[in-house]
Amino acid sequence: MLDLLANKWSALAIGALEAGPHRFGALQRRLQGVSPKVLTRTLRRLEATGLVARTVYPEVPLHVEYELTELGRGAAVPLNALRAWVEDHIDQLPR
């Protein structure tokens, strides 16, 4: 489980989804540099562990949204602390 959360794209996806449900494309834009393949795999793993819920809207065109579950919102707390620590110390870290 730690390897799922202690993973850059999982951490960033959970962080982005804190702002609310996102479609795949919107998430991909927010997570600069993530490939569709990696984002798909990340979202599937987050879904499989119950941190993210996936809703399919049967409209035309059909669309899918991803959002944090309650468990996911819980995981966001320590992940935010980790991201904040990195941002606070970025100048002490070599490029």
User: 15 and 9 in contact (C-beta within 8 Å)?
Assistant: no
> Hey, how many other C-beta atoms are within 10 angstroms of the C-beta on 54?
14
Q: Which residue type occupies 54?
A: R
Part of the chain binding its own copies (CB under 8 A), chosen from 23-31, 36-44, 53-61, 68-76: 68-76
- Please identify which residue in the block is written with the tokens 């809207």: 57
> Which of 8/23 has CB closer to its own copies?
8
Terminal CA-CA length for the chain? 29
Residue 17 as a binder of its own copies (CB under 8 A): the answer is no
Residue 1 as a binder of its own copies (CB under 8 A): the answer is yes
Residue 49 as a binder of its own copies (CB under 8 A): the answer is yes
User: 51 and 71 in contact (C-beta within 8 Å)?
Assistant: yes
Residue 83 as a binder of its own copies (CB under 8 A): the answer is yes
Catalog residues that contact its own copies under the rule CB under 8 A. Answer: 1-3, 5-8, 10-12, 48-50, 71, 74-75, 77-79, 81-86, 89-90, 92-94
